[in-house]
Amino acid sequence: MNTVPNILWLEEIRKEDIISVGGKGASLGEMSSIGLPVPKAFVVTAQAFRRFLVETGLEQKVYKSLDRLDVENNDALEKAAETAKGLVLKAKVSAAIRDEVKKAYRRMASDDLVVAVRSSATAEDLPDASFAGQQETYLNIRGEAALLTAVQKCWASLYGARAIYYRAKQGFDDHTVNIAVVVQQLVNSEKAGVMFTSHPITGEPLTIIEGSWGLGESVVSGSVSPDKYEFDQRTEKVVNRLISTKKIEIIADGEHGTKTVEVATGRQDSQVLSDAEVAKLAMYGKIAENHYGVPQDVEWGIVGDAFYILQSRPITTIGTKMSEQGASAEKSGAKESHKILVQGQGASPGIASGKVSIIRDVKDTGGVKEGDILVTRMTNPDMVPAMKKVAAIVTDEGGMTCHAAIVSRELGTPAVVGTKNATSLLKDGQLVTIDGERGLVYEGVIDQPLQKQQAVSQQVGIGPAPIITATSVKVNVSIPEAAARAAATGADGVGLLRIEHLILGLNKTPGWFITNHREEEFVRELHDGIKIVLDAFPGKPVWVRTLDAPTDEFRNMMGGENEPHEHNPMLGWRGIRRDLQSPDQFRLQVEAFKQLWKEGYDNVGVMFPMVSHPDQFVQAKEMMRGWGVDVETVTLGIMIEIPSSAILIEDFLTCGIKFASFGTNDLIQYTLAIDRNNENVADMYQPKHPAVLHLIHNAIQTCRKYGVECSICGQAGSDPKMVEWLVEHGISSVSANIDAIAKIRETVARTEKHIILEAARNRNAE
């Protein structure tokens, strides 16, 4: 029998009580236990909500309304949400629960104590997901009747459309997600805001605080552009202040919970926090971070001299996904010479171009198309389906910690927030480019990064004389649009052309082309895309990698519905293992290569990804032979991404591979059992782990013995330190990201000279 009471007081709660009190409640309990200034509170437990569902006979009815719901169908989603919410709102709460809530309220203070009533979903605030803003909060609630209504409304908000959608997308089961309600003394903040106890993108020990006048809701919801302060924990100093114009504030309102009012002109531009206040808040943030062991996203408020910590939860995105590092390096740095239309804060990194779609009302999001740039005053959780579709997000208001920023980062969508006037300056349909790192919106479509311009000047002789290296320095290319600027680096060839990006860009899976008898079109697209890269590198080797997209990356494309659902796509049906089992798909790629070879592009090498056994190489080669490829003359090689291929490298060499290239992004994850996309274990993702270096060292030496080119095309090949080590250990070529080429070439040259110098010195010393 369940013995958890309907009500728990803050003092009784610890983080282990998350199932009963939700992330918010557990965190408040913990914080109060370590002495942070948390306002008085009690929690209506998740068990009280369950009892309510059972006692009223609602449980099955609610679940039924959600079963088999297609959350992408807006109408169906809205309808199901209305039904479920209506059921919860109309049902009568038992006298026992009502009495206990009323009693707790009276115990907290007098009958007219003003409280905030906050939902606290029990899957909320877990480290791997943020339900920020998905359930309701009611502020300025006064009196028993209003409190009971607010509690019931919080329960109903568990079934709001945006909450259902968000949970479905994050893989939470509606049947098991629960809701607790935190009833807390309302702090009528004179100033308030949010704080990231470490930098949300880089993870540096920089506390970022955003604050504005009135209640913190204006900052959290993004309805105001707040002041921003950066406090360096190493020097214990405020290192940055950005004072914004704070036009509105949200204050308590007797009848409607809260109201938005204009800030008096004199206060609009004045600084919200003194340095001493920033330091004190940062100190509280540090206490929370130290206690929880991970950086926190904290809500705070100040009334007079009293500081309050209102909630704290882990920041959901710290660190860059390894798979994105190369991409963002390629993507970052749009041309300064292009006209900047608007600027704000870079809230989610990445570059994207597209057509502006201005949304003035959430009802208009139906018109937002895939790849558009969503421009709006501020996003709210109802916009999540639209936010997922778009290429980038631009808002007039909000800061680094507002809803738009948090969700954009989680979705990996570039975002610029707090531009003040994007909705009035940008026009519907206008083509723009967003730099989500630097917070800029440029006119038109830009595809040449700034770093490239510098590289180009070197090439045409404005810079120093070209550096010649004995170790080839090649470049990685993922999209044909980048071919010209990749070539302008003067790279010695392409060490990795990822063709899956050509396919993902078509928005149709290879299976779709096959099922719809559009094979020729598929071959043509591949051929044309690869040809653009080949034409940019005449006479230089270009290693084209056969398809390597995990099944989940195909899912949202046409035909994606036929992709298998895999628990672990990284370890699943991808790379050569899929091609060998899907000869139709493999053959189409080979057709494209054949055409290119026939057209005289004999610089094409074909590289097989995710090879784990020499038999796979032999099988691939034999299939190609069967399709008319002269496999003994063309250049076929493998990626070393799985420890088994590094261990068995000699067997691969005796099977006739013409080259091997370390795919360290995968080699590291498979050697160390560290998911390269998982920020929780990102600090354990060590390219220079001795086991990884051991595998690489052995493979290099074996390739050298056979006189076969050994290269690297993973992200580690763009790291000068790693490249120094690789050159010292005898690698024959490295392939780096476009923007890293100049630096890598310099590193290679310096290391080579060092080796020669050392050898000469050693000879002289003998």
**Window of 386-394, 487-495, 622-630, 664-672 that interacts with ligand PEP by CB under 6 A:** 664-672
Among 125, 299, 525, 641, binds ligand PEP (CB under 6 A): 641
Residue 498 within binding range of ligand PEP, rule CB under 6 A = yes
Residue 495 within binding range of ligand PEP, rule CB under 6 A = no
Q: Quick check: helix, strand or coil at residue 743?
A: helix
Residues in binding contact with ligand PEP, number by CB under 6 A? 11
Residue 739 interacting entry, from ligand PEP, Mg ion, none, C-beta within 5 to 8 Å by type: none
Give the separation between CA 170 and CA 259, rounded to whole angstroms: 33
Q: Which residue's CB is nearer to ligand PEP, number 136 or number 548? A: 548
In order of 144, 180, 660, 726, the CA distances from 699 in angstroms are: 73, 56, 9, 11
Among 329, 713, 726, 734, binds ligand PEP (CB under 6 A): 713
Element counts in the chain: helices (H) and strands (E): 29, 29
Among 22, 133, 480, 663, binds ligand PEP (CB under 6 A): 663
Order of strands across the sheet that contains 440-443:
340-343, 440-443, 431-435, 351-359, 373-376, 392-395, 415-417, 345-348
Contact in structure between 486 and 494 (CB atoms under 8 Å): yes
Q: Which residue's CB is nearer to Mg ion, number 97 or number 610? A: 610
Token look-up 């290679």 returns: 748
Closest approach, Cβ 734 to Mg ion, in A, equals 16
Q: Which residue's CB is nearer to ligand PEP, number 321 or number 338? A: 321
Residue 713 interacting entry, from Mg ion, ligand PEP, none, C-beta within 5 to 8 Å by type: ligand PEP
Using alpha carbons, select from 107, 14, 88, 18 the residue that is nearest to residue 49. 88
Among 663, 679, 699, 733, binds Mg ion (CB under 5 A): 663
Residue 550 within binding range of Mg ion, rule CB under 5 A = no
Residue 666 within binding range of Mg ion, rule CB under 5 A = yes
Q: Which residue's CB is nearer to Mg ion, number 326 or number 349? A: 326
Give the separation between CA 553 and CA 560, rounded to whole angstroms: 9
User: What are the DSSP E strand ranges found in 233-321?
Assistant: 237-242, 248-253, 257-262, 296-303, 306-314
655 flagged as catalytic? no
State which of positions 589-648 bind Mg ion (CB under 5 A).
641
Residue 664 interacting entry, from Mg ion, ligand PEP, none, C-beta within 5 to 8 Å by type: ligand PEP
Window 274-313: contact mask with ligand PEP (x via CB under 6 A): ----------------------------------------
- Which residue number places its CB atom closest to Mg ion? 666
Give the separation between CA 479 and CA 459, rounded to whole angstroms: 22
State which of positions 512-571 bind ligand PEP (CB under 6 A).
548
Contact in structure between 83 and 116 (CB atoms under 8 Å): no
Contact in structure between 216 and 301 (CB atoms under 8 Å): yes
**Window of 223-231, 350-358, 380-388, 660-668 that interacts with ligand PEP by CB under 6 A:** 660-668
Closest approach, Cβ 317 to ligand PEP, in A, equals 20
Closest approach, Cβ 639 to Mg ion, in A, equals 7
403 flagged as catalytic? yes
Residue 687 within binding range of Mg ion, rule CB under 5 A = no
Q: 542 exposed, middle or buried (CB, 10 Å; 0-12, 13-18, 19+)?
A: buried
Contact in structure between 638 and 652 (CB atoms under 8 Å): yes
| Strand-pair category, 7-9 with 41-44 | antiparallel
Closest approach, Cβ 734 to ligand PEP, in A, equals 12
Is the Cα torsion angle 310, 311, 317, 319 positive or negative in sign?
A: positive
Closest approach, Cβ 607 to Mg ion, in A, equals 11
Q: 205 exposed, middle or buried (CB, 10 Å; 0-12, 13-18, 19+)?
A: middle
Q: Which residue's CB is nearer to ligand PEP, number 172 or number 543? A: 543
Give the separation between CA 444 and CA 354, rounded to whole angstroms: 8
Residue 439 within binding range of ligand PEP, rule CB under 6 A = no
Taking CA 92 as the corner, what is the angle to CA 89 and CA 96, rounded to the nearest 5 degrees? 125
Contact in structure between 314 and 127 (CB atoms under 8 Å): yes
Residue 665 within binding range of ligand PEP, rule CB under 6 A = yes
Catalytic residue among 402, 403, 527, 703: 403
Catalytic (active-site) positions = 403, 713
The residues of the shown chain that bind ligand PEP, judged by CB under 6 A, are 323, 496, 498, 548, 641, 663-666, 713-714
The residues of the shown chain that bind Mg ion, judged by CB under 5 A, are 641, 663, 666
